[in-house]
Amino acid sequence: MYLETLDLTDFRNYAAVHLALGEGRFIAAGDNAQGKSNLCEAIRMLATMRSFRAGTDRELVRWGSAGHFARILADVTRVDGPLRLEVIVSAPPTPDDPLANAAGLWSADPADPGQPQGIAPTDRSLPSPSSDGEGPGVGPFPRLPTGKRIKVNGAPRRAIDCVGLVTVVLFEPADLDLVSGPPSGRRHFMDVTLCQISRSYCRTLSQYQRVLTQRSALLRRIRENQDDPRALEYWDVQLAQLAVPLITERAGLITRCLPTADQVALRLGGRGLRLVYQPSFAVDVELPTATAIAAFNEKLKSLRKREIMQGVNLLGPHRDDLAFLEGPINLATYGSRGQQRGAALALKLAELEAIELETGDQPILVLDDVLSELDPTRRAALLDSIGPISQVILTTAEPDAIPAAFAATAHWLPVRAGMIA
Which does residue 34 bind out of Mg ion, ligand ATP, none, counting CB within 5 to 8 angstroms by kind? ligand ATP
Q: Nearest approach, Cβ of 171 to Mg ion (angstroms)?
A: 13
Count interface residues toward Mg ion (CB under 5 A).
Answer: 2
Residues binding ligand ATP (CB under 6 A): 12-13, 30, 32-38, 59, 61-63, 369, 397
φ and ψ of 239, to 5 deg: -60, -45
DSSP one-letter code for 117: P
* Cβ distance to Mg ion smaller for residue 12 or 36: 36
Q: Does 340 bind Mg ion (CB under 5 A)?
A: no
Run of H or E including 361 = none
Q: Per-residue b/e over 72-89, b at no fewer than 16 CB within 10 Å?
A: bbbebbbeeeebebbbbb
* Cβ distance to ligand ATP smaller for residue 69 or 208: 69
How many residues belong to the chain? 421
Q: Nearest approach, Cβ of 63 to ligand ATP (angstroms)?
A: 4
Q: Nearest approach, Cβ of 333 to ligand ATP (angstroms)?
A: 30
Residue 417 burial (CB count, 10 A): 11
Which does residue 62 bind out of ligand ATP, Mg ion, none, counting CB within 5 to 8 angstroms by kind? ligand ATP
Q: Nearest approach, Cβ of 16 to Mg ion (angstroms)?
A: 21
Q: Nearest approach, Cβ of 33 to Mg ion (angstroms)?
A: 8
Q: Nearest approach, Cβ of 91 to ligand ATP (angstroms)?
A: 10
Cα(362)–Cα(225) distance, rounded to whole angstroms? Answer: 53
Report the candidate in 123, 320, 133, 150 with the shortest Cα–Cα distance to residue 206.
123
* Cβ distance to Mg ion smaller for residue 37 or 167: 37
Q: Contact with Mg ion (CB under 5 A): which of 13, 34, 37, 385?
A: 37
- Angle, helices 183-197 vs 337-359, to 10°: value is 20
* Cβ distance to ligand ATP smaller for residue 65 or 214: 65
Cα(25)–Cα(45) distance, rounded to whole angstroms? Answer: 20
* Cβ distance to ligand ATP smaller for residue 59 or 249: 59
DSSP string, 204-241: HHHHHHHHHHHHHHHHHHHHTT-S-GGGHHHHHHHHHH
DSSP string, 49-105: SS-SS-SSGGGGBPTT-TT-EEEEEEEEEETTEEEEEEEEEE----TT-HHHHHTT-
Name the residue number minimizing CB distance to Mg ion.
37
* Cβ distance to ligand ATP smaller for residue 56 or 204: 56
Residue 199 burial (CB count, 10 A): 15
Q: Nearest approach, Cβ of 110 to ligand ATP (angstroms)?
A: 17
Name the site residues for Mg ion (rule: CB under 5 A): 36-37
